[in-house]
Amino acid sequence: MRRTTAAACGVAAGCVAATMLTAPTASATVVSRVGLPSPGSFSNFTIGCRYEARVKVNDAATVVRLVESREGSGLKTVVARTIPAADTAVFVWTPTTPGRRTLQAVQPTRGRLVYSHPITVTVSRGITAAGFCFSI
């Protein structure tokens, strides 16, 4: 907490000092890295399968985006966006190409974009059938 002192001076009353306690201004931002479920018994995520990605935020009123970049590329592509529910933004991520991918959540804060810590995963070709995904 931060203390703010305001002095009020009246002609007949003299000076009265009032101390107010105010909370520091919090910045709205993503507060955790993106969490993904394990891709099952296989070590890679599979093209065409849907995965639920989650990230904690401290501003539930501002849109959060999930961005993906390819290994060796600085280009970040928005692959999903959502309004958080309480303190969690939930996305559905469906990888479209094989290779190493870095995922981050991003939320605008005070006129700038704030990114979560990155996570890097491997995406493979596979077979999708009846809701099941198998990397090959």
pLDDT over 60 at 31, yes or no? yes
3-state secondary structure 113-132: EEECCCEEEEEECEEEECCE
Phi first, then psi, for residue 55 (nearest 5°) are -150, 140
pLDDT over 60 at 13, yes or no? no
Q: What is the pLDDT of residue 133?
A: 80
pLDDT over 60 at 5, yes or no? no
pLDDT band at 65 (very low <50, low <70, confident <90, very high): very high
Per-residue pLDDT tens digits for 39-52 = 765 678 999 999 99
Q: Is 107 exposed, middle or buried (0-12, 13-18, 19+ CB in 10 A)?
A: buried
Specify whether the CB–CB gap between 118 and 73 falls below 8 A: no
pLDDT over 90 at 54, yes or no? yes
Per-residue pLDDT tens digits for 78-98 = 999 999 988 999 999 999 999
Q: In this predicted model, which residue has the larger pLDDT, 8 or 66?
A: 66
Strand partners, 66: 80, 105
Compute the mean pLDDT over every residue in the chain, rounded to the nearest whole number. Answer: 79
Handedness of CA 83, 60, 102, 72 (dihedral sign): positive
Report the distance separating Cα 4 and Cα 6, nearest Å: 7
Q: What is the DSSP letter of 25?
A: P
Mean pLDDT (whole number) for 13-39: 56
| CA dihedral of residues 40, 41, 46, 48 (deg, nearest 10) | -50
- High-pLDDT (> 90) share of the chain, %: 49
pLDDT over 50 at 21, yes or no? no
